[in-house]
Amino acid sequence: TGKEKVNQIIIRDLKTNEKQPLEAGALFVAIGHEPNTKLFKGQIDLDDQGYIVLKDLTKTSVEGVFAAGDVHDHRYRQAITAAGFGCMAGIDVDKYLSEHR
């Protein structure tokens, strides 16, 4: 409700529809999420929500195929975790390629 920056938000109770102000200094907007994994259906293991199932951190059900980011992360769904998993997958790919030369 602030003019220059966020200082409060109005929250609504989904059961009663009652609204009330809540002081806030920042706002993180989540736009919802549906993993863009349809092209992998039937090729690698996906869970019932369409997320890629990982084993041993970044490995998929197909040898030599790794995944990172929002295609597997249905808990955090944030860029920073996607970046971290991207780094992990890169390291795992490097290790895999070194072992399979």
16 part of a folded domain: no
Which tens digits make up the pLDDT trace of 4-48? 788 888 999 989 999 999 998 887 665 567 788 999 999 999 999
Model-level pTM? 0.59
Q: What are the backbone dihedrals phi and psi of residue 44, each rounded to the nearest 5 degrees, phi first?
A: -130, 160
Neighbours of 85 (CB within 10 A): 23
* Contact between 66 and 50 (Cβ < 8 Å): no
Say how many domains are in the chain: 1
Is there a domain that residue 47 lies in?
yes
CATH value at residue 60: 3.50.50.60
Is 60 inside any structural domain?
yes
How far is 41 from 89, CA to CA, in rounded Å? Answer: 20
Residue 1 predicted with pLDDT over 60: no
Contact 43, 65 (CB under 8 A): no
